């Protein structure tokens, strides 16, 4: 059974916010101003300034563990918001042909460079795009994955797009409307949400057109629960 994705409230919500602030100011803020090198899942990842760092947040590791367990051989996969490219590289290592998309040009450049550094250059193509705006037309995908921003705040620069989903989760709303047009028959969207997000506002965005939405993995941790959902567009089957 997948645990509830209701937002954390009260005392534990305050504790979680304090924890986030501590991690941000002690580690993340410094990392955003420098080029850093980390190793995860046996992959060496260079993270340049302004690019989301996969090491500091549990969301990337949890979604990475799930992706590493999928049968992706021969699949076409798009990762939205690729950051430094860890999830894209995991998918490529699993046999997928990957299109890595980010609004931040530094993130796309890092993903392409990291793919080459890990011997995966032939499996990863980078695209700088605001969601699907500049994804080449005619491309269809078996999987579209996204570890989305969690906070309903307007992004103010490239770095903040990794955390802020726009007022009223407008970025997630646009993604949900556009993504269904890029899924092949039988394909799926895959998103991760946290108890940091208002699931009651976000999940209906992915089922309003009759899409099938089901939880496939969950991880309960102190102060936070992460859940991964698969969405099958209407008429695409299960």
What is the CATH classification number for the domain harbouring 210? 3.40.50.150
Q: Answer yes or no: is 127 within a domain.
A: yes
Asked, for residue 140, whether it belongs to a domain, the answer is yes
In a domain, 108, yes or no: yes
**Does 38 reside within a domain?**
yes
Residue 27, domain extent: 10-232
Structure-block tokens of residue 12: 């534990």
Residue 179 falls within a domain, yes or no? yes
- What is the C-alpha to C-alpha distance for residues 158 and 19, in angstroms, rounded to an integer? 23
pTM score, two decimals?
0.86
Instruction: Tell me, yes or no, whether 75 lies in a domain.
Output: yes
Phi-psi region at 44: left, alpha or beta (left = phi > 0; alpha = psi -120 to 50)? beta
Domain membership of residue 200 (yes or no) is yes
Is residue 31 in a domain? Answer: yes
What is the residue-level pLDDT of the chain in tens, covering all 238 positions? 333 344 445 554 555 555 555 555 555 566 567 799 999 999 999 999 999 999 888 899 999 999 999 999 999 999 999 999 999 999 999 999 999 999 999 999 999 999 999 999 999 999 999 999 999 888 899 999 999 998 999 999 988 999 899 999 999 999 999 998 999 999 999 999 998 889 999 999 999 888 899 999 999 988 789 999 999 987 654 4
Number of structural domains the chain divides into:
1
- Residue 92 has which token pair? 């490529």
């Amino acid at each position: 059974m997948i645990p509830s994705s209701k937002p954390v409230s009260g005392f534990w919500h305050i504790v979680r916010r304090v924890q986030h602030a501590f991690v941000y100011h002690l580690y993340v803020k410094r990392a955003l101003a420098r080029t850093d090198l980390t190793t995860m899942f046996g992959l060496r990842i260079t993270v340049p300034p302004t690019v989301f760092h996969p090491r500091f947040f549990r969301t990337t590791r949890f979604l990475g563990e799930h992706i590493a367990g999928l049968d992706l051989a021969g699949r076409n996969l798009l990762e939205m918001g690729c950051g430094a490219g860890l999830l894209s590289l995991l998918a490529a290592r699993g046999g997928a042909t990957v299109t890595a998309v980010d609004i931040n040009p530094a993130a796309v450049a890092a993903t392409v460079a990291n793919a080459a550094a890990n011997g995966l250059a032939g499996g990863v193509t980078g695209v700088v795009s605001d969601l699907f705006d500049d994804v080449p037309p005619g491309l269809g995908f078996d999987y579209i994955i996204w570890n989305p921003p969690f906070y309903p705040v307007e992004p103010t620069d490239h770095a903040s797009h990794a955390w802020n989903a726009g007022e009223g989760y407008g970025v997630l709303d646009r993604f949900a409307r556009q993504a269904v047009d890029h899924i092949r028959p039988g394909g799926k969207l895959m998103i991760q949400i946290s108890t940091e997000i208002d699931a009651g506002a976000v999940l209906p965005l992915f089922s309003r057109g009759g899409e099938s939405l089901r939880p496939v993995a969950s991880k309960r941790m102190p102060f936070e629960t992460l859940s991964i959902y698969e969405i099958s567009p209407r008429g695409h089957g299960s």
